[in-house]
Amino acid sequence: MADRLFGIETEYAISGMQGEDPVERQAMVRQLLDLARRTLPHVNDLSSSGLFLENAARLYLDCGLHVEYSTPECVNPWDAVRHVEAGHRTMLRLIEGLAQEREPELETGIFRVNVDYSGTGSTWGCHESYQHRVPDDVLPTHLIPHLVTRIAYSGAGGFDPLCSGLRFTLSPRASHIERTISSESTGDRGIYHSKDEPLCSGYSRMHVLCGESLCSHAAMFVKVGATSLVVAMAEAGLEPGKDVQLVSPLNALRTVASDATCKRPLKVKGAGRMTAIEIQRHYLAMAEAHLADEFMPPWAATVCKQWKRLLDLLDAGPAASARVLDWPTKLALFLSHASRRGLNWDRLPFWNAAIDRMSAAMELPPTGEPFPLDAAISGETPIPKIVCEIEAMMRRKGYAWEELRNVLALRAEFLALDVRFGQLGPQGLFTALNDGGILDHAVSGVDNIEHAMVNPPNTGRAKLRGAVIKRIASDMAGEWYCDWQQIFSPVYGRCLDLSDPFAQSESWHDELVREPATTW
């Protein structure tokens, strides 16, 4: 079957200031959801934690007080990117509307970010879901090398949130991945998430939680398109990951995330060493070789063309993709800011390593809080031997503690730049660069965002869900409830069966299809 379903869930960070006082976050997110209920056509979530919108998407409050927007089920990567952007615009209008309702007016911000730099250890998820029919014990083999190495183009970029220094990473979220395979999603997370909540009949669902919220349309398009093709090849029995099995996936993840060249060798079972780009080219070559096969979706050739373009850009070095992908664009921004502020970027690895050694000696947990340099090196230092060894290395290189003090003093500026990059609205740095015509990330066909805010994709059960919600939202919304597989009214005793993900016509019953489920 060529048609494939996938969707993207985005968790947002929000902030509010009333004058000089921060607004309590729990109250703010609940007021935002209340505003959504009052202003957006919807049907209440059957599990009572959110609402389904007229475009068939779901808006709700996830654990950790994260406001989350889940796209409707999409059958092509254009719709996936389009509906992610529709979610961004919906959330931005809600947060702006919330500000206007407060007296005095609230200063608000909403961010597509991936990690919290304040030291809490929190991370915001951008999860993906892919429909498939692959045995549970088969899929990890073929997906894990892909998920590890796709960071080369799908990494959001930023800084290691668990580092007290200033360590650039292609994927801040990677610091929160602790296992190769795990069923957990709020801690002890895995590269491959073994959760399988199908949310439909006849299929399984691969739930990816190691991805990140992205700004670049090109990165989003290839991320979801390439991953769906890898799943399709595994489903067809092609064994796409067989020849690129990583010796240590978790170590490889750390290596890829720390390598702006994307060319550091990774240990591959039976094949020596391969770079992240080479592993991605392996998957791409297999997809290209099977473009004419019946199982391939009609958009496969376009995804492969875009996939190859991104890998070619990455092969040329980060500067070549600095206007196309998230992390290279951020890296260029950070390098420019470092130059203006007199910070020697090339010396950061030395200072980060020094901080790591001192932190370990002082038994400081890796929280990302600023490093207490003066406590470590001044007066009766608690780690005299380590400090003496570092000072000896500094003398050989001509370095001084004052330079590290400058790094730590500027650290907050760089972290703030990263957060502002993903801010929605005109204050966001990505938005400013994009509106200024500086970026080259657009994908032809990702358009009609305003239409997607109020209309579902034109295929499958999402189309039916959106159409029914439009019919009942204005007069009867309070008498109906919805989840991914059904719309149900206890008042009327009627249930729309949406368990078939490719349903083309409405099928009504007198009983619930199944007990409520939570996320697509």
Catalytic residues: 62
One DSSP character per residue, 416-484 reads HHHHHHTBSSTTSHHHHHHHTT------TT---HHHHHHS--SSHHHHHHHHHHHHHHHHHGGG-EEET
Neighbours of 475 (CB within 10 A): 8
Closest to 487 measured CA to CA, from 454, 460, 509: 509
Query: How far is 257 from 149, CA to CA, in rounded Å?
Result: 9
227: buried, middle or exposed (CB in 10 Å: 19+, 13-18, 0-12)?
buried
Q: What is the DSSP letter of 346?
A: G
Give the C-alpha separation, 131 to 203, whole Å. 6
C-alpha to C-alpha distances, 481 to 53, 56, 460, 507, nearest whole angstrom: 12, 13, 20, 16
Q: What region does 368 belong to: left with phi over 0, alpha with psi -120 to 50, or beta?
A: left
Pick the closest to residue 46 from 502, 501, 465, 507 (CA basis).
465
Using CA of residue 468, residue 473, residue 479, residue 484, what is the dihedral sign? positive
How far apart, in whole angstroms, are the C-alpha atoms of residue 98 and residue 278? Answer: 48
Cα–Cα distance between 313 and 325 in angstroms, integer? 10
**Distance separating alpha carbons of residues 348 and 345, to the nearest angstrom:** 5
CA pseudo-torsion sign 337, 341, 345, 348: negative
**How far, in Å, CA of 48 to CA of 518, rounded?**
10
Hey, what are 384's tokens? 């005299």
Cβ-based neighbour number of residue 35 at 10 Å: 17
Nearest Cα neighbor of 424 from 154, 213, 155 is 213
DSSP 3-state assignment of 42? strand
Q: How far is 144 from 242, CA to CA, in rounded Å?
A: 11
Kind plus residue range of the DSSP H or E element containing 9 = strand 6-18
Q: Are 16 and 23 in contact (CB under 8 A)?
A: yes
